[in-house]
């Protein structure tokens, strides 16, 4: 996990807003359909069937279920079979989650092989072929899309991801991956589906201008500083709470199913600002049902992003609800996940070190793809 104090001075918004990246006229897109949330079919080694993998902005590395994984946790998945370009790099990686027991340990061997995304293939890129995975995995692998080659800090144990490598090898014109994610609540015409694209932006998937927001230098997609307002109800005073919080950085993570996780001290501050009830004996709070938060990331469009903080399905009858956000304990950054991100068309631009947000196009034209030029 990154430490926000390391990057707090990266973006001085008084120095000017970011400049939108250029997308040349020879930009070509490759697209794949998405499941909820951010799960896409990717073909490895040229072998079918494709693996359904999470495109995870919060991870720098890759694990995929493979023919080398024989434990019971590996059953029921599509598996990676080495292709003609397979090379074993003889590097073992171990990731430990939760309490660190055997069922929470992932072990992979780094290999090089081909990866196909839509209609384009990179002949060789690095991934982790799993020999052990944890239980209850609902997909076949986790493809990290955090920055590696384009991280501006030195990391000794991460490798460029397939998007970075496609650009470095001249396969795509722009080092960009973008997402048009629907959650099922939208009313969209027939043929409009969730989609991921690499190589640029899909002009048919968004309306208006893209707000390009600055990122910090580390591998996570983290905005170093923003303005933060909170409001307990439409009739309450809008509070600029930016200076009330101790942790200025916000990390965007497609692999996180939560709306928003806050470090414990900032969580307590937020509950106080909203006039929350609690905590009860279990440490839980209730907040006013119309509570909102608004962010401005000092992007190219200086856009505000407002979202509801309360789970209104849990109203206690007195206008108070469970928060949709959560206390993330000793984490050092705020972390926002899929429920916030899928409200927008989003893009990650590696070379520019920017993340783009735009209004999703929910009209019939979104059923087709067309590269964006600028």
Same domain, 241 and 184: yes
Dihedral-angle region of residue 275 (phi above 0 means left; psi in -120 to 50 means alpha; beta otherwise): left
pLDDT at 153: 79
pLDDT at 262: 98
pLDDT at 102: 63
Same domain, 343 and 217: yes
pLDDT at 287: 98
Same domain, 77 and 93: yes
Angle at CA 54, nearest 5°, toward 49 and 55?
A: 110
pLDDT at 7: 33
Q: Domain total for the chain?
A: 2
All residue ranges of the chain with pLDDT < 70 are 1-15, 97-103, 154
Same domain, 158 and 270: no
Q: How far apart are CA 191 and CA 207, in angstroms?
A: 18
Q: Which domain holds residue 72?
A: 32-172
- Residue of 195, 198, 162 lying closest to 27 (CA atoms): 198
- Residue of 63, 62, 58 lying closest to 2 (CA atoms): 58
Same domain, 180 and 324: yes
CATH (domain of 345): 2.40.70.10
Q: How far apart are CA 243 and CA 245, in angstroms?
A: 5
Q: How much is the mean pLDDT over the chain? A: 93
Same domain, 259 and 228: yes
Out of 141, 172, 203, a domain closes at 172
pLDDT at 152: 79
pLDDT at 275: 97
Q: How far apart are CA 77 and CA 71, in angstroms?
A: 12
């Amino acid at each position: 996990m990154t430490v926000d104090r390391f990057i707090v001075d990266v973006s001085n918004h008084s120095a000017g807003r970011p400049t939108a990246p250029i997308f040349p006229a020879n930009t070509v897109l490759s697209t794949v359909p998405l499941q909820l949330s951010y799960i896409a079919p990717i073909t490895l080694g040229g072998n079918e069937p494709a693996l359904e993998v999470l495109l995870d902005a919060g991870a720098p590395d890759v694990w995929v279920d493979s023919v080398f994984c024989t434990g019971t946790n590996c059953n029921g998945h599509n598996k990676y079979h080495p292709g003609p370009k397979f090379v074993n790099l003889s590097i073992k990686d171990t990731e430990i989650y939760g309490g660190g027991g055997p069922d929470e340990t992932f072990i992979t061997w780094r290999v090089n092989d081909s990866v196909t995304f839509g209609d384009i293939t990179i002949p060789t890129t690095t991934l982790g072929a799993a020999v052990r995975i944890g239980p209850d995995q609902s997909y076949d692998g986790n493809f990290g899309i955090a920055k590696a080659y384009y991280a501006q800090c030195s990391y000794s144990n991460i490798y460029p991801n397939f998007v970075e490598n496609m650009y470095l090898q001249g396969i795509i014109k722009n080092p960009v991956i973008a997402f048009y994610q629907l959650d099922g609540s939208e009313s969209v015409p027939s043929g409009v589906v969730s989609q991921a694209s690499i190589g640029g932006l899909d002009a048919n998937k968004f309306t208006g201008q893209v707000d390009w927001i600055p990122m910090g230098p580390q591998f996570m997609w983290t905005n170093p500083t923003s303005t933060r307002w909170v409001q307990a109800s439409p009739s309450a005073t809008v509070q600029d709470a930016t200076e009330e919080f101790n942790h200025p950085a916000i990390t965007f993570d497609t692999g996180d199913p939560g709306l928003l996780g806050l470090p414990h001290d900032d969580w307590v501050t937020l509950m106080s600002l909203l006039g929350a009830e609690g905590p009860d004996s279990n440490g839980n709070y209730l907040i006013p049902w119309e509570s909102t938060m608004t962010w401005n990331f000092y992007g190219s469009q200086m856009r505000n992003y407002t979202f509801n903080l309360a789970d209104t399905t849990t109203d206690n009858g007195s206008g108070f609800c469970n928060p949709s956000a959560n206390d993330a304990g000793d984490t050092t950054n705020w972390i926002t996940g899929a429920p916030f991100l899928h409200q927008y068309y989003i893009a990650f631009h590696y070379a520019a070190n920017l993340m783009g947000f735009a209004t999703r196009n929910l009209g019939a034209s979104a059923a087709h793809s067309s590269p964006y030029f600028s």
